[in-house]
Amino acid sequence: MRLPPMNSNHSAGDIIDRFRQVLAEAGLPAAPETNFICDGLLHRFRVEGDKKGSRNGWYVLHLDGVPAGAFGSWRAGIAENWCIKGQEQLTEDERRQLRERMERAKAARQSQLKQRHATAAQRARNMWQKAKPAAPDHPYLVKKQVSPHRARQIGPALVLDIRDIQGQISSLQFIQPDGAKKLLSGGAKQERFIPVTGVDGGDPETVLICEGWATGATLAASMPGALVLAAIDAGNLPAVAVATRQRWPGCDLIICGDDDRKTEGNPGATAAKRAAELSAARLALPEWPEGSPESLSDFNDLANWLNEVKP
């Protein structure tokens, strides 16, 4: 909880100005046109720098009693509480009132997030049904040297379906010909994945989980018959791995991590190791031949480089 060092003898305008400052310090500066409503209810706002018309930020702010509130961003996954007093300055009754307000704010936030996810899921279903099978000569596929597998296409963009462990579609990922990637606004991602390949009846014997779809397409070509899931990013690997182990406890589960050798802390390998530990899975990381460029980081990079250097 953010507890700015202020006394309570301030006007509503001063408190709102301080709240705006706290948002900026948290990396969520409110767009200049934002007029804060201090009624204790959940409101949305545009984060400065986001596209016009978007409202990915949210806040709750009340001025009665001890001025306090909460704020965050659905897009960035941020959620924080704020109070004008430090905890040590609050009376027991004020602490109780603050807890109750924060609980109500949390419930409202979760309810709106659930509706946001449901709306995005319906949009995803409609768009997925209208999309056509991806062209094998799509520039991104050619660059990555992979087959379309289940990918579809809308205009110039590849369309990839994001699903939960029960197979329900929740969102989409779009990949432009130049490789630019974007997720459907409002779609759920946590514990969700892109199924690069499907399950051909029954439970899968082998499941491979990686980060990106192109890496998954490379893995699918090297291990026909395996179920390949792309967790979208490193941060989602552990959650997808645990959900997969719970869904198919008897499968041979292999976490195929990226090796971000040039990034401090190697987030790809670190997340993959954590995912393997939590899901009792095997771990696979690329093995780099002598002379391979350090810029390579995943199995798709390795496969394409090996194709280039073949005599």
pLDDT of residue 284: 97
Instruction: Sketch the domain layout of the chain as residue ranges.
Output: 12-119, 133-309
Per-residue pLDDT tens digits for 102-149: 787 778 777 877 888 999 999 999 999 999 999 999 999 999 999 999
pLDDT tens figures, 165-192:
999 999 999 999 999 999 998 899 989 9
pTM: 0.74
Write the pLDDT tens digit of every residue in 224-266.
999 999 999 999 999 999 999 999 999 999 999 999 998 999 9
| Mean of per-residue pLDDT scores for the chain | 89
Q: DSSP assignment of the chain, as one string?
A: -B-----S---HHHHHHHHHHHHHHTT-PBPTT-----BSS-EEEPBTTSPTT---EEEEEE-SSS-EEEEEETTTTEEEEEESS-GGGS-HHHHHHHHHHHHHHHHHHHHHHHHHHHHHHHHHHHHHHHPEEPPTT-HHHHHHT---TT-EEETTEEEEEEE-TTS-EEEEEEE-TT--EEEPTT---TT-BEESS---SS--SEEEEESSHHHHHHHHHHSTT-EEEE-SSGGGHHHHHHHHHHH-TTSEEEEE----TTSTT-HHHHHHHHHHHHHT-EEE-PPPPTT--TT--SHHHHHHHHHHH--
The predicted model gives 303-307 an average pLDDT of 94
